Amino acid sequence: MGITLPIAFTTKMKKLLGSDFEAFMASYEEMRLYGLRLNRLKIDEEQFFRISPLADRLRPIPWAQGGFYYEEGDRPGKHPHYHAGLYYIQEPSAMAPAELLDVKPGHKVLDLCAAPGGKSTQLAAKLQGRGVLVANDNARERTKALAKNIELAGVRNAVVLNEEPEALAPVFAGYFDRILVDAPCSGEGMFRKEESMITQWERHSVERCAVMQHDILRHAAAMLAPGGRLVYSTCTFSPEENEAQIASLLAEDPELSVWRVSLAHGWAAGRPDWIGLQDGEDELIDNQLKDLGEIKQEISGTVRLWPHLVKGEGHYAAVLIREGLNDGTGHSPAEHPHTPEQQHSPELKGRRERGGSKGRDRKGKERFSKDRDGKGLNTAVQPLSGRGASKGRKDGGGLLRKAETEMTPEQRWQEFAASNVRGTEAWQGKLISYGSRVYLQPDGVPSLDGLRVVRAGWFLGEAGRYKFEPSQPLAMGLGMQEAVRSLQLRADDEGATRYLKGETLHMTAADIAAYPLEREGDESKTGNVPADPKGYVLVCIDGYPVGWGKWDAGTLKNELAAGWRLT
């Protein structure tokens, strides 16, 4: 066997697994499996199979919509389709929790421990652009990758936060229809995929993880709407981090119950009989409001994915339901009793007051922090006539110049959209700006005042003194035909690779056009050549946007930001 497992780990697993231990250990002799998941916000299976060179070698992952095993040598992360956000590379078992959350378009969804964003992009695809996704992670550095993956996937209705669950709970009390807690854990299920997890396991003990998980879970539960659903998942085997966590939550919150997962695809039942085997664990379910026998019965409805029983790594998942009615498509916070204004929990109310005041200094000014791109980020929503506008006023020149510089960042966007993007009048959401950066925030998001905001919504671009610069996330979130000017490249064109590497391309005005993707047997371009081909062009590969270019007199200047280029 190539992997050396810690003795403390194998000893414990032997005690737990008994006669299954041999089969479990044999799984470490086998190769890990590789998975990718199609981004159904952009593409379905049929279309993907038509355009992808991987099509013949992909095999479906039975528990995940659009999930496929690929071969190690295929390197899908290097293909232009990856840069177009057509799929996300994700370990097969890791696709299970988001499937269990049963997200429907229109839901308000929280991914509480979200970085680097695999499950967030999966949840966003299930929302199909309707409702809200709040993706949060408390590790500041990791939220960079989280925001980028959400943007690469073309998600338009997400807010990205960098907070502790304790700070979110009062702001979003009872707000979410669906919550995913993909908890930080000791990672025992990932030893085969990533040997470095073994060192981390030795450093972050199971006990420490269990304390952290308990804290995260109870705050998560406070944010779940009546009738809402919460999925708790880990990639570890230890019962202290799995069944015992759920048992203690059920004991504390009698409105929660386990929704029994059906055991298909080789999935195995949770193990209530393993609760209490470890020292001190009984304390977790002290003061229970529910009978222990009843709780243990419920725990058998949670699920374990074992590496010797499924084609994937080790995982655990529990689905919990909060008592109450929910039509499944979301509701405004004012419609139910768990709103911030109608707190019934004195503990949460106290925390909200503390959290709210955290965002202001003694003089009542709004707190600023840096956003992930290093820009000064106002943590409060900028009003339409806010800071960005007054900045322009200071250095106005002649009358026209003065009027131009007095435009708010939102107005700058609208001016840009009018000549570059089709159909924005029909977009749902609220335009807001933080400094010069303009976002489209999904409707119904409460004030984020006082929270560390990484993305306040879909980042549309940055307003300058006289112009608006469209962002990379705007390009990724548009459909090809939403741009006034587009350039169609094919994945196997040399031009596609050159564009992704950041090079300038040369072409005539006739190449800059909005025209449909060539279909088999139809080589003709049938679209409209824009009246003025000069300006921003949405560069597409096989019909899917990858970034902006700026065309003028035969040259397409490459606008792909450094962090988005093919290296």
Ligand X SMILES: C[S@@+](CC[C@H](N)C(=O)[O-])C[C@H]1O[C@@H](n2cnc3c(N)ncnc32)[C@H](O)[C@@H]1O
Q: Which residues are annotated as a binding site for S-adenosyl-L-methionine?
A: 113-119, 137, 182
Shortest Å, Cβ 227 to ligand X: 24
Short-list 140, 180, 182, CA closest to 160: 140
- For β-strands 176-182 and 224-234, DSSP reports them as parallel
Smaller CB distance to ligand X: residue 138 or 245? Answer: 138
The only residue of 184, 392, 409, 473 in contact with ligand X, by rule CB under 6 A? 184
CB 378 to ligand X: min, Å: 23
Is the CB of 193 or the CB of 412 nearer to ligand X?
193
DSSP 457: S
CB 459 within 8 A of CB 496: no
Quick one: which of 74, 67, 114, 113 has its CA closest to 90? 67
Contact characters 99-138, ligand X, x per CB under 6 A: -------------xxxxxxxx-----------------xx
Q: How far apart are CA 159 and CA 34, in angstroms?
A: 29
Return the closest-CA partner of residue 97 out of 198, 242, 293: 242
CA distance 1 to 27: 10
| Contact (CB, 8 A) for 318 and 302 | yes
Residues with a catalytic annotation lie at 235
Q: Give residues 231-250 in contact with ligand X (rule: CB under 6 A).
A: none
What CA–CA distance (Å, rounded) separates 242 from 277? 13
Q: CA 6, CA 278: separation in Å to the nearest integer?
A: 18
CB 229 within 8 A of CB 98: no
Is 81 one of the binding residues for ligand X (CB under 6 A)? no
Q: Residue 212 or residue 269: which is nearer to ligand X going by CB?
A: 212
**Stretch 203-222 residues interacting with ligand X (CB under 6 A):** 212, 216
Nearer to ligand X, 101 or 540 (CB): 101
DSSP character at residue 28 = G
Binds ligand X by CB under 6 A, chosen from 151, 177, 182, 298: 182
**CB 197 → ligand X: shortest distance, Å?**
11
Is 159 within 8 Å of 152 (Cβ atoms)?
no
- Region of 450 (left: φ > 0; alpha: ψ -120 to 50; beta: rest) is left
CB of 146 to ligand X, least distance (A): 8
Instruction: State the sign of the Cα–Cα–Cα–Cα dihedral 138, 140, 141, 143.
Output: positive
Angle of helix 243-252 relative to helix 206-222, nearest 10 degrees? 40
**Total interface residues for ligand X by CB under 6 A:** 19
> Least separation, in Å, of the C-beta of 216 and ligand X?
5
Residue nearest to ligand X (CB): 113
Cα separation, 175 vs 48, in Å, equals 36
Cα separation, 110 vs 124, in Å, equals 10
Strands (E) in 323-374, as ranges, are: 368-370
Minimum distance, C-beta of residue 106 to ligand X, in the bound complex (Å) = 22
- Binding site: which residues? 113-119, 137, 182
Near ligand X in 138-167, by CB under 6 A: 138-139, 142, 164-165
Backbone angles phi, psi at 319, to 5 degrees: -110, 125
Q: How far is the CB of 493 from ligand X (least distance, A)?
A: 32
Residues contacting 510, CB < 8 A, separation 6+? 529
Rounded Cα gap, residues 277 and 12, in angstroms: 11
Our CB check for ligand X shows the closer of 63 and 468 to be 63
Least distance in angstroms from the C-beta of 538 to ligand X: 28
Three-state DSSP state, 427: coil
Which is nearer to ligand X, 113 or 539 (by Cβ)?
113
Residues interacting with ligand X, by CB under 6 A?
94, 112-119, 137-139, 142, 164-165, 182, 184, 212, 216
